[in-house]
Amino acid sequence: MNSPYDIETIKLIDGKISHKRNIHPFNEFNYNCISILINLNNIKNKKKFNSIFSINKNNMFSWCEKDHGNSKDHPLDWAREQVSKNGGDASGKILLHCFPKIFGHVFNPLSVYFCFNKEQKLTALIYEVRNVVGGIHSYVALVSNPEETHFTNKLFEVSPFLPSEGDYRLKTKLTNNNISISVNYFINNKIILNAIQTGKIKPLTVGALLMNIIKGSALPGKPMIKILIQALKLLIKGAKYKKIFVFNTHKTNLTKRV
């Protein structure tokens, strides 16, 4: 059986996202989506994956290296530097899980880098978080056990409907056929928000991409549209709105293991 780390270039993730808000006003939702898993080591200098998926250029579907990391260096080099700064080893493969551009539009609330050493051991994770006003922040977690959960203080404003304080419990799992990413937000050990993304790993083919357009899983700007719809629902329910500011930092913060 092949290792889940033997991805040649790009795989398709046929997935689902669910959110549950556990404070007043209560709210929950879920929707189908597609995402991609990219081998950053093998993507350099490539311009096209298939007839409708391109790299660093416009197409029906695409991925652009400038949408990640510090927007200057290649994400592979950037990720290795961040892990090294935190005392880790990312000298092997680095896989990036994110949303693709669809007709030139993309919003990645959370991208996750799976970082390995030369022995193909998972050694670190990078959680790259964006907010709707253009801010970006990254959290680095060194890994000793792939099943462990990491936690970090909340250091970045994501939602105008949530408090500034609290902490995150983060867990990811990558297998031969599936991926899952779980983000739980707590304040004083009380669960405030659960966010989970799961999906099946499949070949990235023209047929699979077109089928997801037909099913409605692959629509331009779908994550952003969903966020705006839920924001409107929260306002109608009486949620308090606070202004959040653009905050860009590529200084990462080591999360602790539990």
Query: For every residue of the chain, which 3-state class applies, written as one string?
Result: CCCCCCCCCEEEEEEEEEEEECCCCCEEEEEEEEEEEEEHHHHCCCCEEECCEEECCCCCEEECHHHCCCCCCCHHHHHHHHHHHCCCCCCCCEEEEECCEECCECCCCEEEEEEECCCCCEEEEEEEEECCCCCEEEEEEECCCCCCCEEEECCCCCCCCCCCCCEEEEEEEECCCEEEEEEEEEECCEEEEEEEEEEEEEECCHHHHHHHHHHCCCCCCHHHHHHHHHHHHHHHHCCCCCCCCCCECCCCEECEEC
Q: What angle do CA 124, 19, 179 make, to 5 degrees?
A: 40
Mean predicted confidence (pLDDT) in 118-138: 92
Q: Using CA atoms, how far apart are residues 53 and 45, in angstroms rounded to an integer?
A: 15
pLDDT (mean) for 12-31: 95
pLDDT band at 247 (very low <50, low <70, confident <90, very high): low
Which pair of tokens denotes residue 249? 């930092």
Residues with Cβ < 8 Å from 137, sequence gap 6 or more?
128, 129, 155, 156, 247, 248, 249
Name the band, by pLDDT with cuts 50, 70 and 90, for residue 44: confident
Q: How confident is the model at residue 241 (pLDDT cuts 50, 70, 90)?
A: confident
List residues bridging with 257 in a β-sheet. Answer: 150
Q: Is the pLDDT of residue 246 over 70?
A: no
pTM equals 0.93
User: Counting Cβ atoms within 10 Å, is residue 109 exposed (0-12), middle (13-18) or buried (19+)?
Assistant: buried
The pLDDT value recorded for residue 1 is 38
CA distance 110 to 127: 7
Per-residue pLDDT band at 253 (split at 50, 70, 90) = low
pLDDT of residue 48: 81
At residue 45, the pLDDT reads: 77
What pLDDT, in 10s, does the model give residues 186-204? 999 999 999 999 999 999 9
Please report which confidence band the pLDDT of residue 51 belongs to, taking 50, 70 and 90 as the band edges: very high
What is the average pLDDT across 124-135?
91
Largest CA distance in the chain: 52
Q: Which amino acid is at 83?
A: V
Chain mean pLDDT for the chain: 90
Predicted local confidence at residue 214, as pLDDT: 94
At 176, is the pLDDT very low, low, confident or very high (cuts 50, 70, 90)? confident
β-pairing verdict for 190-203 and 10-21: antiparallel
